[in-house]
Amino acid sequence: MTTTYEANRFRGPLNAVVFAVLDGFMDRLLRARKRRVYVDLPDEVVELGSGVGANLRYLRPGARLVAVEPNPAMHARLRARAERHGIELDLRGIVGERLDLADGTAGMVISSLVLCTVSEPEQVVAEVLRVLRPGGRYAFVEHVAAPDGTVLRRIQRILRRPWAWSFEGCSCERDLRSVIEKAGFADTEIESYRIRSPFVPFNSQIAGIATRAS
Ligand SMILES: C[S@@+](CC[C@H](N)C(=O)[O-])C[C@H]1O[C@@H](n2cnc3c(N)ncnc32)[C@H](O)[C@@H]1O
d(CA 212, CA 206): 19
Q: CATH homologous superfamily of domain 11-211?
A: Vaccinia Virus protein VP39 (3.40.50.150)
Does an H or E element contain 136, and which? strand 132-143
pLDDT above 90 coverage of the chain, percent: 92
Q: Hey, which of 117, 140, 143, 205 would you mutate to test ligand 1's pocket, going by the most ligand atoms within 8 Å of its Cβ?
A: 117
Amino acid in position 39: V
Does an H or E element contain 74, and which? none
Nearest C-alpha neighbor of 45 from the set 69, 68, 64: 64
Supply angle C-alpha 145, 118, 80, rounded to 5: 115
pLDDT digits (tens, 9 = 90+) for 119-145: 999 999 999 999 999 999 999 999 999
Mean pLDDT of 34-52: 97
Q: Taking 90 as the threshold, does the pLDDT of residue 1 lie above it?
A: no
Per-residue pLDDT at 3: 66
pLDDT digits (tens, 9 = 90+) for 72-113: 999 999 999 999 999 999 999 999 999 999 999 999 999 999
Give the pTM. 0.96
d(CA 191, CA 172): 17
Average predicted confidence (pLDDT) for the chain: 96
Shortest-distance atom of ligand 1 to CA 2: 19
Q: Hey, which of 58, 69, 114 would you mutate to test ligand 1's pocket, going by the most ligand atoms within 8 Å of its Cβ?
A: 114
Distance 74 CA to ligand 1 centre (A): 9
Please, how many CA atoms are within 13 Å of residue 93, restricted to the half-sphere of its CB? 10
